[in-house]
Amino acid sequence: MTPKIVPSVLTADFARLGEVVAELDEAGVDRIHWDVMDGTFVPNLSFGPDVIAACRPHARCGFEVHLMCNRPEELFPRYVEAGCELLLVHPETLRQPHQAYRSITELGARAGIALSPASPLSHVDHMLDLVDLVLVMTVDPGFGGQSYLAGMEPKIAAARAKLDTVDRAVELEVDGGIGPGTIAPAARCGADVFVSGSALWRYPSFAEGVSDLRERARSAVG
Ligand code: DX5
Ligand code: ZN
């Protein structure tokens, strides 16, 4: 399977977000990752649904939203209406996780379970029939530009082993500090979707970055 490269626009120039998502789409990204922060679950603030909706017409690729907020279930319909086709949600932010993940599917979107570094993989138990993706965070949520936590690699590998027992496709995504030096080990542990923010912006162009990262992930496993 071809590794998927999913840029986080947290690194973008916010004054020209629409143009940036168009450039990323043109560069061949698999989808775009929106980091939503509420200043409570994480000590930072970012995009509301209206910002994402305003950017939606500028790209054809899919949008995923990573909800780093408390009580995100109240916002699910707004982010789906804004054009997000995949909602990544931290289980500890939910009052009724099982019901909440099911409600995402009922809204017509796909659901992903996001795990902070300290959150155990056991959060996905009893929930795998409801989700299409497991996200293993390789930094603490809240900010771009942090260093990749190699200590998460056994968790990525354990998630891969768990997903291999499921008889449907569930993506395994990693998020945080992913770049040319870290994508190969994450891929070898079994990740197949890679969020990249600051590292992608350091390439001469998005197209070069996307193809270099994809190739590094592909050659790491093949
Ligand atoms: C952290 C976010 C990540 C991060 C990615 O809270 O969820 O998506 O910003 O950016 P880099 O690749 O710079 O770690
Ligand atoms: Zn993220």
**Residue-level pLDDT at 12:** 98
Q: Which residues line ligand 1 (CB under 6 A)?
A: 8, 10-11, 33, 35, 66, 139, 141-146, 175-178, 195-199
**Residue-level pLDDT at 85:** 98
**Residue-level pLDDT at 123:** 96
* 33 CA → ligand 2 middle, Å: 7
> Strand ranges (DSSP E) for 21-169?
31-37, 62-68, 86-89, 110-115, 133-137
**Residue-level pLDDT at 1:** 81
d(CA 69, CA 44): 10
* 144 CA → ligand 2 middle, Å: 8
Q: Which ligand is nearest to the CA of 146?
A: 1
User: Average pLDDT of each block of 10 consecutive residues along the chain (222 residues)?
Assistant: 96 98 98 98 97 98 98 97 98 97 98 98 95 98 98 98 96 98 98 98 98 98 92
